Structure 1
Amino acid sequence: MRTYTILTLFFALYSITGFGQDKTGLKLWYDTPSGEVWENALPVGNGFQAAMVYGNPEKEIFQLNEHTVWSGSPNRNDNPDAREVLDEVQQLIFSGEYKAAEHLANEKIISKKSHGQLFQPVGQLELTFAGHQDYSGYYRELDIEKAVAMTRYTVDGVTYTREAFISMTDRIMVIRLSADRPGQLSFRAALTSPHTKKSLEVTGHNTLSLHATTSDHEGVEGKVVFNALAGFQAAGGTMSVEGTDIVVDHADEVVIRVSVATNFNNYKDLGGDASRRAQNYLAKVSGKRYDVLKKAHIAGYQYYFNRVSLDFGATDAEKLPTDKRLENFRNTDDPSFVTLYYQFGRYLLISSSQPGGQPANLQGIWNGQMKPAWDSKYTININTEMNYWPAEKTNLSEMHEPLLKMVRELSETGRETAKTMYGANGWLAHHNTDIWRITGPVDGSFWGIWNGGGGWLSQHLWEHYLYTGDEAFLKSVYPVLKGAAEFYADFLVEHPEHHWLVVAPGNSPENAPEEHQGASITAGSTMDNQIVFDVFSVTARAAEILGKDKDFATKLDSLKKRLPPMHIGKHNQLQEWLDDIDDPQDHHRHISHLYGLYPSNQISAYQHPKLFAAARNTLLQRGDVSTGWSMGWKVNWWAKMQDGNHAYKLIRNQLTPLGVVKGGGGTYNNLFDAHPPFQIDGNFGCTSGITEMLMQSSDGSVHLLPALPDALHTGRVGGLKTRGGFVISDMTWEHGVLTAVEIKADLGGNLRLRTPNEIKQVSGNQLKKANGDNPNGFFRVPQIKAPVISGASDIIPLQLRKTYLYDIATEKGKTYRFVLR
């Protein structure tokens, strides 16, 4: 009775004050500068403009990016020769001549034009402080609660402070330089750029200006024009111009406002005025004080960030600088480091993906190289999708918008690709795209022949609907879903031996069995089958919800019945290919056939126990050590396996300095994911995986604490979002026991809860035990075919932890509270 009274009081206080943890630990901080190492610098951004802040006392560097600064210009890269050889490639595959099929695909299907353009940097704002090489008391930080970077140090008894942020409310970067004694700020400022087509000048005696045009690449002329402006406002002292530099002498304080703009309007229009835009961005803030700009920025950022709060507890380990915590994490108890890394992922998503902007690319929005790895574009056979796994469930639906817009645009460009290359209706995208929304196959047939990028990306449209219930949105994107289904309806071909409908040519991304002569090209890979299954299922369901295209939905259901089932092979594994040729010693970074486990929900712990066990065996056979993004995906898979300790082991491996885990990736000092090199998907993958450890909603219910590791046995979270529009306003657990949970029903409808222990409703209502299918349509689970199981397999289902399943009828907008029974 006493526990009940305390919890009731807690919930009463919550309703007045709101959920709020002590966020003082949400800082990346260091006692050394970045030096010349880009991966030591700290990222700031607002989805349109971005910078890496180095924090060097003598020569400060702000490396600048803008979301539309890409090489090239509007272009297409379809290969019309593909259509004439498609039948021949398919016949070579079906006859087992995989290497010949791959050779012909390279000759006639892979693009002969651009293989994708480059995301490029703007340049650098450099501030040189003479005599500041001898400093003491050094400290720098990135406060991810406020999205502000700060550097502080002392020279000759004077303490200097620099603050920098990129405004969430204005399209500018703001930098303030100050000292604790007047007249102490003296430095030289310059804009630099690695672009060859550029000009530099100083305008109005206080503004550095850079005009440039991006690079030509792979036969596509660079036509993105950009203008970067850095306006200086000094209190006290003097400012003068020397060439293309600005010199500040003995100022008390200096505020710098940096704007960057391009001529990019959209993927087919470069008719904008870069200079006018950049000037307008500066003009709009010219009369605003620094503290006003900062306050507005923080409020704009926290509107998103504060929706989710997480607390795993803390130890003395959090008193160390971030790089030292990273160095020690694998061998120490530091639960708040997991909290920091989790929220850093949300910070990065907010900072690199804003409505109206471009989606986060391979490096989010941060890149310092003219020719970055993999062009820093959009690899859509996993990496781009992983970037957005945290969006809906960590309550950042708005951050999903740039990707959803890109999918709409790809459905436009991909329609011509489908017709030109394959004679098919609908649309598709292969394994890579860029800002120009190319959809042709690139990088050779080993990688590029895969055509599932459009099918996979279309699922993000459906996911957004499942979490928001926005039927108007669903109606607007239905043509995109239908187009993805139309392509596969035309492209699928009957397998001559099995008589299933299969994707051919296809592959299991970036992997190849020895039995295929080292070629990846195949027919009916498990991942291809799973993606087509999802495309058909989702499109038919969307048609049903919208009350349209009944005949087309019926056709899709018929086609779906002719897709191959999943297979359990002789090693008790989920087969990657139609044939049982998996090698249990294969430790390839891609485990694409587990798409059906996550992010899809075709493999269920409760409905498909043998497939579920086979998926676990596949994970064990592939091993833990891998590239950074792959470890991020594995965190999600082990969470889906309800094995929190194994998921946490992967987090430990991920949060390890690069080079420590032999043969694998890790994390850089600034907590960027190391593939290596830097790819941001690992950051987003881990944030998603930690969420899946605490809450899952894809298997017919809201499953609370499905994969809680021993290391995080006590904690609290608030703000996570589930399918069906439920928000877990607050959830607490102690020693692995769920003690209290509050859930708000944004949409209403049946709430099916799966819990690790018995609970009761605070109102005293008797909870109803759930039976049968969840009547809430947002939680409908697809019905798959029974798997084909090898005669050599002795697969047995896993023993799952006991859970409790309840149904609660909810009303839209109301909140429901539950406590330990």
Structure 2
Amino acid sequence: MNPGKHLRILTFIFLFSAAFSSFLKAQQADDSRLKLWYHQPAGKVWENALPVGNGMLGAMVYGNVEREILKLNEHTLWSGGPYQNDVPETINYLAEIRQLIFDGKHKAAENLANKVMFGKKSSGQIFQPAGNLELSFPGQDVYQNYRRELDLEKAVAKTSYTVARVTYTRTTFAAFGNRVIVMRFTASKPGQISFSATYTTPHKNVVRSSEAKDLMMEGTSSDHEGVKGKVKYQVISQFKNEGGSTIVSDSSITVKRADAVTVYISIATNFNNYLDVSGNAAARASAYLKKAVAKSYASVYHTHVAEYQKYFNRVQLDLGTTPAAALPTDQRLANFRKVDDPAFVALYYQFGRYLLISSSQPGGQPANLQGIWNDKLYPAWDSKYTININAQMNYWPAEPTNLAELHEPFLKMVKEMAETGTVTARNMYGARGWVAHHNTDIWRSTGPVDGAFWGIWNAGGGWTSQHLWQHYLYNGDKNYLKTVYPVMKGAAAFYKDFLVVHPKYKWLVVNPGTSPENAPQAHGGSSIDAGTTMDNQIVFDVFSSVIQAAKILNIDQNFTDSLAKMRAQLPPMHIGKYGQLQEWLDDIDSPNDKHRHISHLYGLFPSNQISPYRTPLLFSAAKNTLLQRGDVSTGWSMGWKINWWARMQDGNHAYRLIQNQLTPLGVNPGGGGTYNNLFDAHPPFQIDGNFGCTSGITEMLMQSADEALQLLPALPEVWKKQGTIKGLRARGGFEVKEMGWVAGKLTKVVIRSTIGGNLRLRVPDELKGRGFVLQPAKGSNPNVFYAVAKTPAALLSEHAVTAEPVLRETFLYDIPTVAGKSYTLLLK
């Protein structure tokens, strides 16, 4: 044989094999680009299971071969019933509590508040599971070719495996367009589907039954902290066979030798609203089921995909891919801090959007601490709505990632809290308007809970009311603004009555208040204080948004004039002796404080009171605070820090936090991380970290809070090679239809204006308009959606050390836009 020819043949074979192997890897990576997938079942670990949901129903799919488990949830299944937890006795002691705080006796004030502000009232009710559908598959203990996945593009979970040369596939989804969960079993050969199904549940006093091909379970939610459980629920599962036979017993159904089986699961309760539980759970569950089973599986499936993609497909993110993307999700998570895997960030980003679509739908309840997924009768923190950060964080991605409709359940909750909170404000504080403290639940309780250290914080109403305003800033709908203005005004009216003059500083302050869940050593371990920085920032935002809204609507001038006068008497932000943004009025911060809550940076994000361009000294002080607090923190706190570092325009530091968050739980000493199913680990699981990180990635690529729409404000080195994002939304009705970059430079930007008005762009590169002349910006931005209330100048401690930030050069352009028109910009 010719040695040269032989060598050429071997070389060709080698190159072909290498190319084919690369092709297969690329195909596998592309096939799994927006999929979570695994080579093993979830076993007994809930945090390994995969979540499906349609906003009303949720399920965790385990993918176990021999004994499949679906953990079931319904959005209104909560403990207790209509109640309120105000403590009217508070009003008799309010003056005394305030005086103790002004006298520096913070611990005494906290002890008195514990005695008179909490009583024996409930600390909130619990989001509870409906139970489990468990399916046993005999003779399938030995299997091969196992794969379990969650397809984010279709909102479908799938499990496949082979037993004795037969390939089995299970497909599960919470149907959009039909209020059921659907599970379908198929096999590569006919007559191979055999299993038995039954319910299990942690609830007591549950009735299980069956009739025809329906398996039923009904029960009542738990009593909790003196509130009687009044939520009745029913679960109905119907089994539709294709071939084979069905055997029905009192509490189980057995299917034998079917070609395929589709299971429809309907869950409903008697909940009508937070005051009314007079509905008929059984009739509702039956009606939802009948509507779905009357259709073919194909019809239900196609409707589901179309309805889901109506939301999901609005935003696309591509940060590039590497060979690491070909690995299963749990391996990618384990490797992320050690390898370059930008596609994993895009996957996690879209997983956050998937979770919001799946857990928050118009007409439903807002996503709670665990979204809509919970398997425990008594979950951590009751899986309710913690409104000193967590519930708000759930909705940070809603507007910018083009899911504005999904904000509706939260906005509705704010309106309902305004109703209950009006009673709380009057009963407890003798104030007009409305108030909410640091927790609420499905019954919209607004009184303080847990104890004075946490629960005396009364800015829950003020903060959540800002979501009503933010929703308007993105859509510009005056009719909507008219409907929510009374709620915004009510939040301002409470502060108008509640603020008092600080005897030492003469500013108007919230007293009592707290900086959530943190306490300075100087106060003897008490969290209670007057005029904390976060309280001041929230009051500033509440007054400012109401003043601006009233001006837009041309109403309430006398009221807003009084707010403007009071706003001018609020404490300015202070820079302390360590160059930090002070958390309290007095300079008592410790540079060794590593607390997970950094609440006084609310003014940096989600608010816009702190700016590199308008308030550079405060901006530098905020950075010092972030550096002093450090990166290590719980899951949701890392999510918040990503947003802060994005606002700092430090993409590399923000990316470091993403790396910390996308780390298996237990690897970050003293901090949180991520579970194998990509749920955020506080620990335990809290969904806000997922949403916070999705928001943070958005902020790294686009911001629209600081008088302009800013593109690529915090692009990290690892993403600079190239990338694209499509479909983001900005204030003023602007949609970033397309934005691409190469080598860190913008190459093409397409922005659509939905309501017209001036588009002010801040970009890192010189651009040119396609078909129009791009003009440098001059003066203030005339677009009302970008108006920013002037923040008082920072007050510096005599020992404060800080300097104005050094920022990279940016270019500022103005484009007068017409509603409905798109504008294309290119690198100059």
TM-score range, shorter chain: over 0.9
1:77 equivalent in structure 2: 85
Q: Is 1:691 aligned with 2:698?
A: yes
Find the residue that maps to 1:716 and give its secondary structure. strand
- Give the equivalent residue in structure 2 for 1:355: 362
Paired with 2:687 and 2:109, the residues of 1 have a C-alpha distance of 34
Instruction: Report the 3-state secondary structure (helix = DSSP H, G, I; strand = E; otherwise coil) of the residue aligned with 2:445.
Output: coil
> C-alpha deviations, 1:225-278, integer Å up to 9, x for none?
000000000011100113310000101000000000000000000011101100
After TM superposition, list the pairs within 5 Å mapping 1:158-237 onto structure 2.
158-203=166-211, 205-237=212-244
CA deviation profile, 1:96-141 (whole Å, cap 9, x unmatched): 0011000000001125211000100000011100111111110010
Of 557, 562, 569, the match for 2:576? 569
Partner of 2:475: 468
The yes-or-no answer on 1:394 pairing with 2:401 is yes
What residue number does 1:408 align with? 415
The residue number in structure 2 matching 1:46 is 54
Code of the residue aligned with 1:490 in structure 2: it is D
- Contact kept? 2:241, 2:258, Cα under 8 Å: yes
Please give the root-mean-square deviation of Cα atoms over the aligned residues, in Å: 0.8
1:177: Cα distance to partner?
0.3
Report Cα offsets for 1:294-336 as digits up to 9, x if no partner.
Answer: 1110000000000000000000001100000000001100000
Gaps of 5+ in 1: 1-20
Q: Which residue of 2 aligns with 1:312?
A: 319
- 1:139 aligned residue (133, 144, 147): 147
1:33-432 counterparts in 2 under 5 A?
A: 33-203=41-211, 205-432=212-439
Asked if 1:652 is matched to 2:659, the reply is yes
1:773 aligns with 2:780: yes
Match of residue 803 from structure 2: 796
CA distance in 2, matches of 1:735, 1:267: 53
One-letter amino acid matched to 2:773? Q
The amino acid of 2:735's aligned partner reads V
Tell me the residue number matched to 2:510.
503
| Counterpart amino acid of residue 270 in structure 1 | V
Structure 2: distance between partners of 1:389 and 1:290: 35
SS in 2 for 1:474: helix
| Cα distance, 1:324–1:111 mapped onto 2, change above 3 Å | farther
Q: Distance between the aligned counterparts of 2:614 and 2:441, measured in 1?
A: 39
1:631 — aligned with what?
638
The offset of 1:22, in angstroms, is 6.9
Amino acid of the structure 2 residue aligned with 1:336: A
Look up the equivalent residue of 1:729 and give its one-letter code. K
State the match for 1:555 in structure 2: 562
SS in 1 for 2:427: helix
Q: How does 1:603-752 map to 2 (within 5 A)?
A: 603-713=610-720, 714-752=722-760
Q: What pairs up with 1:755-770 in 2 under 5 angstroms?
A: 755-763=763-771, 765-770=772-777
Cα deviation code 1:775-820 (max 9, x no counterpart): 0000011101111001111210110010000000000000000000
Question: 8 Å contact 1:110–1:449 — kept in the other structure?
Answer: no
2: CA distance between counterparts of 1:612 and 1:622?
16
CA deviations on 1:623-650 (whole Å, 9 max, x unpaired) are 0000000000000000000000000000
CA distance in 2, matches of 1:774, 1:639: 23
Q: Distance in 2 between matches of 1:243 and 1:803?
A: 71
Query: So what's the TM-score if we normalise by structure 1?
Result: 0.97
Q: How many residues align?
A: 799
Displacement of 1:347 after TM fit?
A: 0.2
> In structure 1, what residue type is equivalent to 2:69?
I
Q: How far, CA to CA, are the matches of 2:462 and 2:157 in structure 1?
A: 39
- Out of 482, 487, 497, which is 1:490 matched to? 497
CA shift at 1:197, angstroms?
2.2
Q: Distance in 1 between matches of 2:49 and 2:806?
A: 46
8 Å CA contact retained: 2:210, 2:249: no
Unaligned residue ranges in structure 2 (runs of 5+): 1-28
Q: 1:556-582 CA distances to partner (integer Å, 9 max, x unpaired)?
A: 000000000000000000000000000
Aligned residues of 1:111 and 1:442 also touching (Cα < 8 A) = no
SS in 1 for 2:255: strand
Bigger mean CA offset, 187-196 vs 742-751: 187-196
How far apart in 1 are the matches of 2:744 and 2:577? Answer: 37
Deviation per CA, 1:161-205: give whole Å up to 9, x if none: 0000011101001110011011111110012211102100002x2
Cα deviation, residue 498, structure 1:
0.2
- 1:6 maps to none
In structure 2, what is the equivalent of residue 7 of structure 1?
A: none
Q: Which residue is equivalent to 1:8?
A: none
**TM-score with structure 2 length normalisation?**
0.96
For 1:9, the equivalent position in structure 2 comes to none
CA contact (8 A) 1:111 1:441 kept: no
Give the match for residue 528 of structure 1: 535
SS of equivalent residue, structure 2 residue 59 = strand
Shift of 1:158: 1.0
- C-alpha contact (below 8 Å) 1:744/1:813 kept by paired residues: yes
- Could you say what secondary structure the match of 1:141 adopts? strand
Decide which of 585, 592, 601 is 2:599's aligned counterpart: 592
Partner letter of residue 812 of structure 2?
L
In structure 1, how many angstroms separate the alpha carbons of the residues matched to 2:524 and 2:441?
31
Greater shift after overlay, 790-799 or 505-514? 790-799
- SS of 1:232's equivalent in the other structure is strand
Aligned to 1:5: none
**Amino acid of the residue matched to residue 61 of structure 2?**
V
Question: Shift of residue 24 of structure 1?
Answer: 5.0
Q: Which amino acid aligns with 1:804?
A: F
Say whether the 8 Å CA contact 2:208–2:250 is kept in structure 1.
Answer: no
Find the aligned partners of 1:107 and 1:495 in 2 and give their Cα distance: 24
Which letter does structure 1 place at the counterpart of 2:37?
W
CA contact (8 A) 2:232 2:281 kept: yes
1:337-364 superposed Cα distances (whole Å, 9 cap, x missing partner):
0000000000000000000000000000
- Secondary structure of the residue aligned to 1:614 is helix
Contact conserved, 1:407 with 1:457, CA < 8 A, in 2?
yes
* Equivalent position amino acid for 2:645 in 1: W
Shift of 1:477: 0.5
Cα distance in 1 between the residues matched to 2:785 and 2:576: 33
Conserved 8 A contact 1:78-1:111: no
